[in-house]
Structure 1
Amino acid sequence: MSVTSPSEIKIPYSPKKASMPNRLQAFADVWLPRLVLSPTVFASLLFVYGFIAFTAYLSLTDSRLMPNYELTGFGQYQALFELDRWWVSAANLGIFGGLFILFCLVVGLLMAVFLDQKIRMEGALRAIYLYPMALSFIVTGVAWKWILNPGLGLEKMVREWGFPDFSMDWLVNSDMAIYTVVIAGVWQSSGFVMALFLAGLRGVDDSIIKAAMVDGASLPTIYRRIVIPALRPVFFSVLLVLSHIAIKSFDLVMALTAGGPGTSSDVPAIFMYQFSFTRGQLGLGAASAMMMLMTVLAVLVPLIYLESKEAKHGH
């Protein structure tokens, strides 16, 4: 009589039992990521888009110190557009935003091209250029307020060096105060722009550059005709980030000029804060906040459209 070993015993195959682990795995693959992300999605919907909708609603009411939920139409927007201070702040935003973005792009790109030449101490120079980005805009504003103070900053130092006629009173000059904000903002953010451009430059195919050099193209021509056009996606990202920084500029302006002298360096973010929380005109502040949102969308939507259109043609 033969004895059957345990390893030779065949267990009948059960499709139902075998499919259960697969079904559980498929269920977990589909629903577990959703369950993990659901608190974040809910918080974003509530605290970002929910409060945007709430602000839009308040801008259509006659809210003062406290919210008033009775709709009154677009009266707050009409009052906003009749205020000279709003148009001064909007003009200052145009000056600051335009110059800030332009100079950050130019300075950041030039520094990136300089570091892309494989120079010595590249790591140390990159860290030095990036260091201002590690500071908050409050610290940057206070530091540049000291530097540009006529009584104890750059003007005083140069005069002590033997140039008694030197003047750098932009901080107390109502016509030049907004440009001090541009200087501080460019100093703060150009290193970050440099890092983005440098990453893009390092991603350009070296074989294309070598082929152009073999054909006799000079280095400036290579960068102008080949390398910089290849950085279009980086330019898109940089423009988005810098536009966002410029439009929401509040802490830098408050620390450096506080919107002064007078309202000469006022920007919409300061206008919105003061009218909403210090002057008890919540509806007017909400209307200015919605105009800031419209400004962001006016910049963001065309850029996204152009980038998606270029990407579609590229494919």
Structure 2
Amino acid sequence: MSVTSRSEIILPTTRHGTVAPSRLHALADHWLPRIVLSPTILASLLFVYGFIGFTAYLSLTNSRLMPNGDLVGFDQYMALFELDRWSVAASNLAIFGGLFILICLIAGLLLAVFLDQKIRMEGALRAIYLYPMALSFIVTGAAWKWILNPGLGLEKMVHEWGFQQFSMDWLVDSDMAIYTVVIAGVWQSSGFVMALFLAGLRGVDDSIIKAAMVDGASLPTIYRRIVIPALRPVFFSVLLVLSHIAIKSFDLVMALTAGGPGTSSDVPAIFMYQFSFTRGQLGLGAASAMMMLMTVLAVLVPLIYLETKETRHGH
């Protein structure tokens, strides 16, 4: 054994009993990350999970304008499901969420495949596709409200071109208003989906594609059989992000249709806000918020399970 190693074993402390520098470094490495992260962890426990628990408690009370401790069990949830407006909001969420996620997936994947062909001006096109994501949903909603306004936007412009039979009055049609929200949402988010898919495509090993081309596989077959299946983690991330955007949609709907005409384009986020803060039914609003949380978990938990299952099988 060397002299250095013996001194490290025999002299863990100095002559005066103080801890040696190596011991101090070990203690710092052990405790410093915990000390630095503890305020963030405590804040998350309080302001995220603490308020989720408080909202769950309010949903079981008869709270009106202010919180109270008058527990009524699941009466608020029963009252919630008996409301026609909640049924409309839930149906609109299913329509908007389903179409929004599906169209964004298809459009984003096709745009990514298009840009993956090493075309000219790829950087400019990528910036154009990504630009809507730089805008807030309020700006997007206001812009599309002008575009789809029958007296100001697309319909008026086409009429001035001489096509008097053209009609695009979805914004004021109670049966079609929710589809205007789909249009605006897809316009803003499909570029972001494209960027995620493009990053995934650029990460696929070129040697596999070249080997498939040598074997005589066509480009569509290569993408269908090799490239797209390799993007499974990207699909997981995209579904997670888009589902989250769809379920919590509030500002886009408020800026574009304000939930109208009437309540025809109402969504759960607007329902929760109005019943909690403008109608003085805090317990009912808390119940709707918990139902939104359950919807998020219903999407999140299966996705995480499938992804972790695939990871375990991959290893």
When the two structures are superposed, what TM-score results if normalisation uses the length of structure 2?
A: 0.95
1:17 is aligned to 13
5+ residue gaps in structure 2? Answer: 1-5
Aligned partners of 2:26 and 2:109: how far apart in 1? 48
**Matches for 1:159-238 after TM superposition, within 5 Å:** 159-238=159-238
> For residue 44 of structure 2, what is the amino acid of its counterpart?
S
**Matches for 1:6-45 after TM superposition, within 5 Å:** 15-17=11-13, 20-45=20-45
**Matches for 1:67-78 after TM superposition, within 5 Å:** 67-78=67-78
Q: Secondary structure at the residue paired with 2:53?
A: helix
> For residue 52 of structure 1, what is the amino acid of its counterpart?
I
Between stretches 18-27 and 168-177, larger displacement belongs to 18-27
The answer as to 2:285 corresponding to 1:285 is yes
How many Å apart are 1:69 and its aligned residue?
1.5
State the Cα deviation string for residues 163-185 of structure 1 (Å, max 9, x = none). Answer: 01100000000000000000000
1:156 is aligned to 156
Aligned partners of 2:12 and 2:195: how far apart in 1? 57
Displacement over 2 Å in runs of 4+? 16-19
Aligned partners of 1:56 and 1:203: how far apart in 2? 43
5+ residue gaps in structure 1? Answer: 1-11
Aligned partners of 2:210 and 2:20: how far apart in 1? 59
How many Å apart are 1:306 and its aligned residue?
0.5
Aligned partners of 1:314 and 1:161: how far apart in 2? 59
State the Cα deviation string for residues 94-142 of structure 1 (Å, max 9, x = none). Answer: 0000000000000000000000000111111101100000000000000
How many Å apart are 1:16 and its aligned residue?
3.0
Aligned partners of 2:229 and 2:140: how far apart in 1? 33
Aligned partners of 2:227 and 2:40: how far apart in 1? 39
Aligned partners of 1:150 and 1:43: how far apart in 2? 48
> How many percent of aligned residue pairs carry the same amino acid?
87
Aligned partners of 1:16 and 1:225: how far apart in 2? 61
How many Å apart are 1:62 and its aligned residue?
0.1
1:254 is aligned to 254
Q: Secondary structure at the residue paired with 2:193?
A: helix
Aligned partners of 1:20 and 1:128: how far apart in 2? 59
How many residue pairs end up in the alignment?
A: 304
Aligned partners of 1:30 and 1:138: how far apart in 2? 46
Aligned partners of 1:205 and 1:189: how far apart in 2? 27
Q: Secondary structure at the residue paired with 2:266?
A: coil
> For residue 15 of structure 1, what is the amino acid of its counterpart?
L
State the Cα deviation string for residues 201-235 of structure 1 (Å, max 9, x = none). Answer: 00000000000000000000100000000000000
When the two structures are superposed, what TM-score results if normalisation uses the length of structure 1?
A: 0.95
> For residue 12 of structure 2, what is the amino acid of its counterpart?
K
> For residue 243 of structure 1, what is the amino acid of its counterpart?
S
Q: Secondary structure at the residue paired with 1:151?
A: coil
Q: Secondary structure at the residue paired with 2:67?
A: coil
State the Cα deviation string for residues 227-279 of structure 1 (Å, max 9, x = none). Answer: 00000000000000000000000000000000000110000000000000000
How many Å apart are 1:17 and its aligned residue?
3.3
1:123 is aligned to 123
Aligned partners of 2:87 and 2:311: how far apart in 1? 37
1:8 is aligned to none
**Matches for 1:100-111 after TM superposition, within 5 Å:** 100-111=100-111
Q: Secondary structure at the residue paired with 1:279?
A: coil
Aligned partners of 1:191 and 1:212: how far apart in 2? 29
Give the number of the structure whose alpha-carbon radius of gyration is greater: 1
1:112 is aligned to 112
1:295 is aligned to 295
> For residue 270 of structure 1, what is the amino acid of its counterpart?
I
Q: In 1, are the aligned partners of 2:61 and 2:283 still within 8 Å (CA)?
A: yes
